[in-house]
Structure 1
Amino acid sequence: MKIILDAMGGDNAPKEMLLGAAAAVKELGVEIIAVGDEEKIAACAAENGIEMTGITVKHASQTIEMCDDPTSAVRHKKDSSMVVALRLLAAGEGDALVSAGSTGALLTGATLIAKRLPGVKRAAIGTVIPGRLQPYLLLDSGANVECPAEMLDCFATMGSVYMEKVMGRREPKVALVNNGAEESKGTPVYVEAHQLMKQNPAIRFAGNVEPREVPDGAVDVVVCDGFTGNVILKLTEGLARFFTGELKAMFKKNAGTMLAALLMKNGVREFKAKLDADEHGGAPLLGISRVVIKAHGSSNAKAVKNAVRQAKLCCENGMVEAIRENIRR
């Protein structure tokens, strides 16, 4: 299996991209097509002793920066690593694409170059978030600020397929974020979306879920518009930093608390691992006709490797074709 990697995307490119690619080749048995400046990639690999076996480099002279306007960058930086990578994907020269570059540019480029699936009006970003009972998929988590009811219903279908095919959840439960459990709650758009999702044969709809219940992870897919989803995502990230910081400070208070920390080290380690976003690697762009994974801009080698793992699972389990079929239904 060939995974295309935007080697120049992200804050830590190309070093962490290449380290992650090398780990993915070794551990996952994939081939990597690293797209970016050949000279910079070769120099980085030599300087850091990175094994390039199984990694093919495709030259691209430009890079899309985080500050670039997404649409303008995709249209005018035609030799950027991201655009070249997307063209390779669309041409079938790789099975999936992983990028830690600009989210807006990747979403725009994937839509214009790789194209959306029939029946999908807008692609959505799905983010796997730790929950008390189990991780859950939040979508849309930032791509579409305003969504009509039929788009929310479409997100529900795509999210359900992803959790079943990639995360191995049998008959995943899908819920709609709202300010009350009753189906009459929320804005007119959300009331309409509730009725559409209730009648959707492709999902197991669990009704509305209130924000305070979202972190429980009692449902597998949490659906909302991109504005609400991005607020939930960033609030969750902030609370995770707050809790881990407070826990660390509490254990460092005195000799007694440090001894308690030593006795609880396995539990603390498990807690930190549960909150580690690098374990999941990235967020899928659901609704695109090929597998595209958006890794975090600050991704390290571990996150890149796991994003490649995620891309591989999506391909092996026929995620895109399953979404195509369920949207058609």
Structure 2
Amino acid sequence: MNIALDVMGGDHGPAEIIAGAIEAARAYKNVTISLVGKPEVIQAELARQNATGLNLPIVPASEVIEMGEKPAAAVRAKPDSSMVVASRLVRNGTAQAFVTAGNTGGALAAGILQIGRMRGILRPALISPFPTHRGFCVVLDIGANADVRPEHLQQFAVMGSLYARHILGIVNPSVRILSNGEEAGKGNHLVVEAFRLLEQTPGINFQGNVESKEIMEGLTDVVVTDGFTGNIFVKTAEATAKLLQQVMIEELTAGPISSVGAFLAQAALRRVRRRVDDSEYGGAVLLGLSGLVVVAHGRSKANAIRHAIRVAKQGIEQDILAKIQREVSRQMAEGTDLAGSESMDMFNQTSTLKKETA
């Protein structure tokens, strides 16, 4: 198993990215982690971190797609960038997955232009686990597509159900649409029309709408939404969790008596921190491409990168992309209109890339 890692992406690359690769290489002995980036930079960092005897080959890439660049334009203008080179490794079969903490739009553009989409998939979607009171659910899309149509949410539901079943181990995952009310008919035009489509979609356990507060309670296993709404929801939840942790620490250390209580509760506080720490989840999988792409937070440090590599490893082991492709192909063969016309399919690819360059 070979996983291509974009060493040059992210707020803390390359030092933290390489540190995460070293941790993963020590944890997963059967995984080759190809470090894609500027060789002289990678070699110096490997020497500094004393990474000897690990399966960390270097794949040269002389260019970097920066966070502020327009994604599709940068992918085309920088064919030797770490993102494009890593994507090509997946396309030609040298690697089975590509992991990056860099520009999300760049990862999407590189994925579409270099790896290509699955047959029948209109839009790739970013899916990520989300902690709830009962465990975890998955949310998609969390940032790949700001504007979508009802049929896109229909495909997200199919892909999300398969991901929850095979990666989270949920036998019959429930699916709901993020809305401003539980009742059928609540929501904007997109939600109302998607509700109608999902009611008619075979192979998924659709149970209607879900409000954001009910996601936290664990009411559903799969949440589908557009990338604009999903991104805001996830980032707001992450910020709220961090705020609560900070307030708890401040209050528990505010005086001598509470400080004693904090000392006694250290183990419990560590468990709480771990349950809501997004670095433990690794990254979001870009579902709908012909190859596996995992996008970690731009702020990812070593622990998050190690877990992003774990997510990629798990996806490869479960052969999740092949399972999604089989299900989409089966439903298309049975006449379920999941993909629309071929001309509309091509329009969506172009439209996606244009939006990402805006």
In structure 1, give the amino acid aligned to 2:26: K
Match of residue 21 from structure 1: 21
Counting only pairs closer than 5 Å after superposition, residues 33-182 of structure 1 correspond to structure 2 as: 33-51=34-52, 53-182=54-183
Please give the alpha-carbon distance, in whole angstroms, between the structure 2 residues aligned to 1:227 and 1:141. 7
Aligned partner of residue 135 in structure 2, secondary structure: coil
Match of residue 349 from structure 2: none
In structure 2, give the amino acid aligned to 1:188: H
Please give the alpha-carbon distance, in whole angstroms, between the structure 1 residues aligned to 2:270 and 2:179. 34
What is the TM-score with the length of structure 2 in the denominator?
0.89
Q: Deviations over 1:132-177 (max 9, x none)?
A: 2112211111111121111001001111111111122221111111
Asked whether the 8 Å contact 1:175–1:221 carries over to 2, the reply is: yes
Q: 2:165 matched to 1:184?
A: no
What is the TM-score with the length of structure 1 in the denominator?
0.97
Aligned partner of residue 57 in structure 2, secondary structure: strand
Please give the alpha-carbon distance, in whole angstroms, between the structure 1 residues aligned to 2:182 and 2:133. 20
Q: Deviations over 1:39-91 (max 9, x none)?
A: 11111111222235211101111111101110111000111111111111101
Asked whether the 8 Å contact 1:22–1:51 carries over to 2, the reply is: no
Aligned partner of residue 10 in structure 1, secondary structure: coil
Aligned partner of residue 284 in structure 1, secondary structure: strand
Residue-pair matches, total: 329
Unaligned runs of 5+ in 2: 332-358
**C-alpha deviation, 1:276, in angstroms:** 0.7
Match of residue 261 from structure 1: 262
Asked whether the 8 Å contact 2:26–2:54 carries over to 1, the reply is: no
Aligned partner of residue 132 in structure 2, secondary structure: coil
Match of residue 299 from structure 1: 300
Aligned partner of residue 9 in structure 1, secondary structure: coil
Q: RMSD across aligned C-alpha pairs, in angstroms?
A: 1.2
Q: Deviations over 1:97-146 (max 9, x none)?
A: 11111000000110111111111111111122221211221111111112
Please give the alpha-carbon distance, in whole angstroms, between the structure 2 residues aligned to 1:244 and 1:22. 29
Identity within the alignment, %: 39
Asked whether the 8 Å contact 1:134–1:218 carries over to 2, the reply is: no
**C-alpha deviation, 1:207, in angstroms:** 1.2
Match of residue 8 from structure 2: 8
Please give the alpha-carbon distance, in whole angstroms, between the structure 1 residues aligned to 2:44 and 2:319. 37
Unaligned runs of 5+ in 1: none
Please give the alpha-carbon distance, in whole angstroms, between the structure 2 residues aligned to 1:57 and 1:235. 37
Please give the alpha-carbon distance, in whole angstroms, between the structure 1 residues aligned to 2:5 and 2:45. 16
Aligned partner of residue 23 in structure 1, secondary structure: helix
